[in-house]
Amino acid sequence: MKQGALTDEISRRRKAIYNGMSACLQQNDAIKATEIWLQEFSNKPLYALQPFLSRIIDELNISIPRSTIQQQILKSLLNESDQQVDVPQSINLPEFTHENSIVPKTVNASHKVFTHFMDYFLAALFKYDSASELSIKVYVFDNSHRIGVNGNDLDKVKQWLTDNGQVTLIRQMSLQQMQGLFHLFYVSSCEYVGPVKTDKLIEESLKIVEQLPESAEFSMKNIF
């Protein structure tokens, strides 16, 4: 795709994302979310919706269910019309770089890299074999006590597993706990979709996550 065409395509998607966000979020949040999308997800295939949603819910403390936002964005993406409002002038593609990102720096790099990786990995895994999604989650749920997270945090992990993406993963997970959680998914993924496919999906997800600026601070390979 030529540069001009690429810019047009991103502009089209930006408009759809903004309109979808505006339908369910306050304008400030919609603008920030669109900016995040532009900065970090606009170059990803298939709009990278799941990781994007997970990210903005986490970053902007959005309480609206993820599924509702997703529905609005999809509607907006699929039904482009003249009725869609223009994107505010402030959301300008060339000005945004990772260095002047509006994303708060409060979330530590390991958590961010890990949650993004898991989002990509699980989205790809369940897209490949949606029939096994429940079984894989049930396995992880049943064995979640083995990752060394206790009390409320364990409940949050279980909620994260069962609430279909509406709950974000707890922030305060140690390296060992992240390793443990990933390992449970790895084992169940091997059992249900096979080790070869699992390794391939991990590799693909890793490639995407390595593009995050936080990956310079924390490598997902520490989890493997």
- Site for other proteins, rule CB under 8 A: 179, 183, 186-187, 189-196, 198, 219-222, 224
- Identity of the residue, 34 or 188, whose beta carbon is nearer to other proteins in the bound complex: 188
Sign of CA dihedral 32, 13, 20, 209: negative
- Identity of the residue, 171 or 183, whose beta carbon is nearer to other proteins in the bound complex: 183
Compute the least distance from the CB of residue 28 to other proteins, in Å.
38
Q: DSSP readout, 192-203?
A: HH-HHHHHHHHH
- Identity of the residue, 47 or 192, whose beta carbon is nearer to other proteins in the bound complex: 192
- The whole-angstrom separation of Cα 55 and Cα 139 is 25
- Identity of the residue, 57 or 209, whose beta carbon is nearer to other proteins in the bound complex: 209
What's CA 164's distance to the chain center, in Å?
13
- The whole-angstrom separation of Cα 80 and Cα 65 is 23
- Identity of the residue, 60 or 220, whose beta carbon is nearer to other proteins in the bound complex: 220
In contact, 143 and 184? CB cutoff 8 Å = yes
CA distances from 205 to 10, 60, 122 (A): 22, 24, 9
Compute the least distance from the CB of residue 190 to other proteins, in Å.
3
Compute the least distance from the CB of residue 49 to other proteins, in Å.
28
Compute the least distance from the CB of residue 184 to other proteins, in Å.
9
Structure token digits, residue 18? 């903004």
- The whole-angstrom separation of Cα 202 and Cα 117 is 9
Compute the least distance from the CB of residue 198 to other proteins, in Å.
7
In contact, 95 and 22? CB cutoff 8 Å = no
Compute the least distance from the CB of residue 39 to other proteins, in Å.
25
Structure token digits, residue 158? 């279980």
- Identity of the residue, 17 or 220, whose beta carbon is nearer to other proteins in the bound complex: 220
